[in-house]
Structure 1
Amino acid sequence: MEFHHISVLMEETLSALITNPDGIYVDCTLGGSGHAKRIVDKLSSKGRFIGIDQDPAAIAVGKARLADAICRVDIVNNNFSNISKILDELNIDYVDGILFDLGVSSHQLDVAERGFSYMQDASLDMRMNPNQDLSAFDIVNKYSEDELTRIIFEYGEERWAKRIAKLIVEARQVTTINTTGQLVDVIKRAIPAAARREGPHPAKRTFQAIRIEVNNELDMLKDVFTDAVTRLRKHGRLCIITFHSLEDRIAKKTLQNLAKTCVCPPRIPICICKQEAQLKLIGKPIAPSENETNENPRARSAKLRVAEKL
């Protein structure tokens, strides 16, 4: 099965994540198994790897690519928001490292029929889990103008959100918007010509926003990062790779809060929360090298954050 995906920040991630070759490691976003293959190659026969993904295509590829691993391998078709339940079902209390590589895999973007890409005409879909009900078609054709404005502005950080939402609603009153190509045409009409000539593709932000809404990508992040920390053993590592400012902001704030010894409001003169730091932050966020971004332009916006369990 062809599943082309170039994993970003590979060496930096492996160096930060793996502290014990006999340990247990979780890749919460298995994808094309790029990171996973390198992780299992560094584990001994006593080690264990758990790969999680909600995309059946990723599960099939993971099973094939990791079949010759000398460590124990468990491939789980589930959403990483259920990480604690998944580990419970595997009878695992604590692990030595957890990796989140967020965003869309190259495979999902490149396979036209998945409907993630504004560069290829296909049915509006964008579901990472093809078995879920909500799709991009539902959002584009059924959300109110106010709802569309909100998600395009908040999740896409698109300055023309209100105008784009208005034209989507007008267009679907004439005919149902069935394809990515139809949606791109509406977005292009909504954005003034001068604005279209500068910056990224005019549909990039709106497609990002709809994808985030379809897959509930942001709402779960704070809770799942916190859950992941509770499942790390002492000195275990948490690695989070983000690709846009919204998810990176959540990762940064969550890790900072878990590394604090007090979260009381500034107006309170003495600490009453009694919070103990659960993490220490390891270094500054790591960005891809110039060589990596030249070889893989999709890596441009990536950031790796690393923290260690206290």
Structure 2
Amino acid sequence: MVSHDPVLLDRVVALLDPALSHDGAVLVDATLGLGGHSEAVLTRCEQARVIGIDRDLDALAMAGERLAPFGDRFLGVHAVYDELPDVLDDQGLDSVDAVLFDLGVSSMQLDVPERGFAYSVDAPLDMRMDKTTGPSAADVLNTYSVGDLTRVLRDYGEEKFARKIAGAVVRRRETTPFTTSAALVELLYAEIPAPARRTGGHPAKRTFQALRMEVNDELAVLRRAIPAAIDAIGVGGRVVVESYHSLEDRLVKQAFTAATRSTVPIDLPFVPEGSEPALRLVTRGAEQADDVETAANPRAASVRLRALERIAPSSTSPGAAS
């Protein structure tokens, strides 16, 4: 099995534990991956069971093998995490006690060359988390216009040379379509000026990130999934999110802020009974990994961790966990 080192594992479990400390508690691990977080929850929260969602069939199979010792306390489901309401309907659940998102690409996807996520080896330009559906990274490179490629690289990769790279991609594909990562990496080295290549990590990092986010429609999925998760938790339930990209974290922050904001006019001298927000922030801003964890696990360097809790029922959400 591919190695897997979950980011902020102890802190994540500590945030989830209060919601999972009763008999029959249910956690939805919305981004199951290799099951590292789920394994820790099942081990430390002995009354809880986990529904693990992943769009990647390989990840589901590997996590299922890892979590098999927990028997029927674990259920794996092949779905995208914005399909959370449908997953709960299928399981006959009106609500759950916690939902966890560990966003971005998993170590398994990065470490298996043929998946095409990594720029360090030559491999087919795929990058689909679910290999059974949708366009690949090669399809994006070979069909998008200069304008659309520029938007993807600029918005998702925060790439300063987005338009220059997009123009070069379109010129090259006229004679030789993109099929593998080496050709793209070669082009990026040629188009990104030498001074810029010396800072900010590997020159292909931003472009590969942008293509992955586009191929998997990650921001649109997240924009639907976070409100769905908030609606899914009962009183005492928690939503915990680990983000690794500023756009992801911004969406999470906005959704959490909206959910916990009071609707009482700011000039009202008191909050009428029953008008308090139904949710509260558990974390103060976004928590980050310390230097020790970042040194041991470089992926932790960009993590932003946020959590909220339902403290009262609302008209749009369940009143109690099932």
- Once the 2 structures are TM-superposed, how far is the Cα of residue 68 of structure 1 from its aligned partner? 1.3
Q: How many residues align?
A: 300
Change (3 A) 1:240 1:255: same
Matched, 1:163 2:189: no
Q: In structure 1, how many angstroms separate the alpha carbons of the residues matched to 2:60 and 2:255?
A: 29
- Once the 2 structures are TM-superposed, how far is the Cα of residue 289 of structure 1 from its aligned partner? 1.7
Q: In structure 1, how many angstroms separate the alpha carbons of the residues matched to 2:310 and 2:94?
A: 15
Q: In structure 2, how many angstroms separate the alpha carbons of the residues matched to 1:298 and 1:93?
A: 35
Q: After superposition, where does 1:42-191 map in structure 2 within 5 Å?
A: 42-44=44-46, 46-69=47-70, 72-191=73-192
**In the alignment, residue 27 of structure 1 is paired with which amino acid?**
D
Segments of 5+ residues of structure 1 without an aligned counterpart are 267-273
Q: In structure 1, how many angstroms separate the alpha carbons of the residues matched to 2:100 and 2:36?
A: 12
Match of 2:255 in 1: 254
8 Å CA contact retained: 1:40, 1:71: no
**Percent identity of the aligned residues?**
41
Change (3 A) 1:252 1:275: farther
How big is the alpha-carbon RMSD for the aligned residues of Structure 1 and Structure 2? 1.7
- Once the 2 structures are TM-superposed, how far is the Cα of residue 221 of structure 1 from its aligned partner? 1.3
Q: 1:120-148 CA deviation, whole Å, 9 max, x = no partner?
A: 11010000001013100100111111110
Match of 2:27 in 1: 25
Match of 2:5 in 1: 6
**In the alignment, residue 35 of structure 1 is paired with which amino acid?**
H
**In the alignment, residue 79 of structure 2 is paired with which amino acid?**
N
Matched, 1:279 2:304: no
Q: In structure 1, how many angstroms separate the alpha carbons of the residues matched to 2:32 and 2:302?
A: 20
Match of 1:37 in 2: 39
8 Å CA contact retained: 2:2, 2:111: no
- Once the 2 structures are TM-superposed, how far is the Cα of residue 72 of structure 1 from its aligned partner? 2.1
SS at match of 1:4: coil
Q: TM-score, normalised by structure 2?
A: 0.89
8 Å CA contact retained: 1:18, 1:97: no
Change (3 A) 1:263 1:166: farther
**In the alignment, residue 67 of structure 1 is paired with which amino acid?**
A
Q: After superposition, where does 1:223-262 map in structure 2 within 5 Å?
A: 223-262=224-263
Q: In structure 2, how many angstroms separate the alpha carbons of the residues matched to 1:239 and 1:94?
A: 16
Q: After superposition, where does 1:210-221 map in structure 2 within 5 Å?
A: 210-221=211-222
Q: TM-score, normalised by structure 1?
A: 0.93
**In the alignment, residue 161 of structure 2 is paired with which amino acid?**
W
SS at match of 1:26: strand
